[in-house]
Every structure is written in structure tokens, then in C-alpha cells.
Amino acid sequence: MLAHYRRLIALRHEDPVVALGDFHLLLPEHDEVYAFTRSRDGGTLLVVCNVGRTTYRLSSLLPEVVDAELVLGNLPEDDPAVLRPWEARVLRLP
């Protein structure tokens, strides 16, 4: 857990999108998935977190993640198309 938070802090220092990008909430009505984007100077990061016990197909929740690049995740990426319970990812959108 500590290593994950250290990587998050490092990302904040390395990428100005994290600290200074415009915030846009996605899926505001969803009970278990928290998702948002931060955008700045043509770059966009998407953060998606599953805070429930259900597994979700990412493409059905957020079609824009299909070609996204994984920047950081808290679990090993077994299947990039699936968001597992208690999984969080930071993705760079094309």
C-alpha cells in the first residue's frame, strides 16, 4: 500500500495534469465506480476506482478506455478489460 501511495505522489510531481488539470467527474450516478478525468495542454488522465465487490467490464462503463495506456494501478493487470473489486487505475487517454 505504501509503495502505491509513493507512486501516486511521484506521478503528481512528474505530470502537471495530475495537480493542475481540469477536473471532470464521470459516472456520477454509479454507486460503486468512481471515475474522473484531469486534462491539461492536450493531455488527459482518467482515474477509475471500483469501491465495491462487483467486477465490471471497463468498455461498457467507459468506452473511451479501450485504447488507454495504463500509467498506474494498485493490482497486477490480469485483464485490462475488467475492473476488479477494490481496483484503482490511472490511465492516459489517447
- pTM value is 0.88
Question: What is the CB-side half-sphere exposure of residue 11 using CA atoms within 13 A?
Answer: 19
How confident is the model over 30-55, as pLDDT tens digits?
Answer: 999 999 999 999 999 999 999 999 99
Q: Do the beta carbons of residue 73 and residue 94 sit within 8 Å? A: no
Count: domains in the chain: 1
Q: What is the CATH number of the domain that holds 73?
A: 2.60.40.1180
Helix or strand run (H / E) with residue 35: strand 33-40
The percentage of residues in the chain with a pLDDT greater than 90, rounded to a whole number, is: 66
- In which domain, by residue range, is 21 found? 2-92
